[in-house]
Amino acid sequence: MKPYTEIADRIALRIATGELPLGARLPPQRDFAHTEGIAVSTASRVYEELRRRGLVVGEVGRGTFVANRFRPLDPALQEPSGRGIDLDIVFRLSAEGRDRIAASTARFFRQGLEQSAVAPSSASAEPSVASVFAETVGSTEHPVSPNSLVLVGNGKQAISTCLAALAPRGGRIGVETMTYPYVRAAARQLGIDLVPLSMDAEGVTPVALDRAAQTGLQGVYLQPTLQSPLVLTMSEDRKQCIADVLKRHRLSAIEDRIYSFLKPTVPLAAYAPNHVIRIDSLSKRLMPGLSLGIIAPPEPIADAIRRAARSGGWMAQSLAVQLARHWIEDGTVASVETSKRHEARQMFDVAARTLAGLDFSGAPEALHGWLTLPKGWRSEAFAAACAEIGIAVAPGSAFAVVPGAAPSGVRIAFSANDLTIWTHALRAVARIAKSAPTELAQLASTDNAMASVTAEARQLSNGRST
């Protein structure tokens, strides 16, 4: 066994036994090397091995700390936490919405299955079906061409398809410095390098995109509307400036419109129609349990997108396509979307009141918010403190393209089952934020871990929902 792995095992044991508690700062690598009597290069390999195991996290300018033990090995994969109150993944569907989907689905199957519903998977759709989806993700002012539409399994597969079509292995794609975690995972799997682009209050800056494009990019991935995790929306002037850069460098952009149903905005594609690939899905509009990814590329690259979908095995299942069409045509999708917009405003109002006095950013249309943590808190430690009482939130590190460069904050998804549970969960989050990190153990004891928040909230909820 290599010496550095033996040393890493010894440090891992100290973490497992609690000798090195959550949030403990490891010494600088030079000091560690001196104490252990090893070379600095060996110390660096020890720290890298601990990071690989998910036991520590490095933060630029601050050091290396014992990580949140509840953190998944790869936060980019975004698996449900399974904890009492999951405010980690953005997923919202009321009981009324579930009932409406169930009733619509029952009507669909009572009609029997047509040949089109049992046919092999395809990245294309017949014109009548394509028109339905084009109308759903487009608008009268900014329509989507049914002829170029590409259908895949879900929104994540839409991202993978576009990345694979735009960049070869070893290629470079620009992204927001804080981006959707799955983009990181997909790029890594495809062998694509992500280039972080500086952001301001509206998202990626034109100057950052222009500079990166000059060094060579195959494309850029953006969320111009209700960006996750920071809840930013580009102004029309900003979109025009971004579009100008795309045209000047003949660069393609992947415009993720996943939250556009919550806040209808003019798409980036309207300003650079030949340079922007619009992607959307039913995951947020309806539910992720049975979804569909919709890609609206410019005509010149539609065939490349279809080839990528086929070679990746990401084509939409025929039954899912026909069922989604049915949900759209009978009004189920529109009804659920309306409910979600109403619930978003209700939940934002609760969050704004409950988190008053803290640095909370959100929007009445969004289903997530960003909490900048008070001084002394690190996002990993804060997420762990929330996990101790049964609440899952997403630490900023899960979204950072550059490891250790994430701002000190957490994303809070508006995913509680009802307003009562939501209110109790946010009160608990606020108590943690207003406490010093050293008070973590006392706070957990006071709240009696998971039971206090989840059981009490569910009991008081008494079956009510938003």
Under 8 Å CB-to-CB from 343, ≥6 apart: which residues? 92, 94, 367, 414, 466
- Neighbour tally for 6: CB within 10 Å: 10
Instruction: Name the region of 163 (left: φ>0; alpha: ψ -120 to 50; beta: rest).
Output: alpha
Nearest to 70 by CA among 59, 58, 86: 86
Domains of the chain: 3-66 (1.10.10.10), 75-92+334-461 (3.90.1150.10), 113-330 (3.40.640.10)
pLDDT value, residue 55: 80
| pLDDT, tens digit, 9 for 90 and up, residues 84-140 | 789 998 988 888 999 999 999 999 999 999 999 999 998 888 899 999 999 999 877
Instruction: Give the Cα-Cα-Cα angle 36, 10, 33 (nearest 5 degrees).
Output: 20
What whole-number distance in Å separates Cα of residue 93 and Cα of residue 103?
A: 15
pTM score, whole prediction = 0.81
The half-sphere exposure of 116 on its side-chain side, counting CA atoms within 13 A, is 13
| pLDDT, tens digit, 9 for 90 and up, residues 260-312 | 999 999 999 999 999 999 999 999 999 998 899 999 999 999 999 999 999 99
Tell the residue number behind the tokens 């996943």, with chain if given: 258
pLDDT value, residue 223: 98
Under 8 Å CB-to-CB from 326, ≥6 apart: which residues? 104, 107, 108, 332
Cβ–Cβ < 8 Å for 283, 154: yes
| pLDDT, tens digit, 9 for 90 and up, residues 187-228 | 999 999 999 999 999 999 999 999 999 999 999 999 999 999
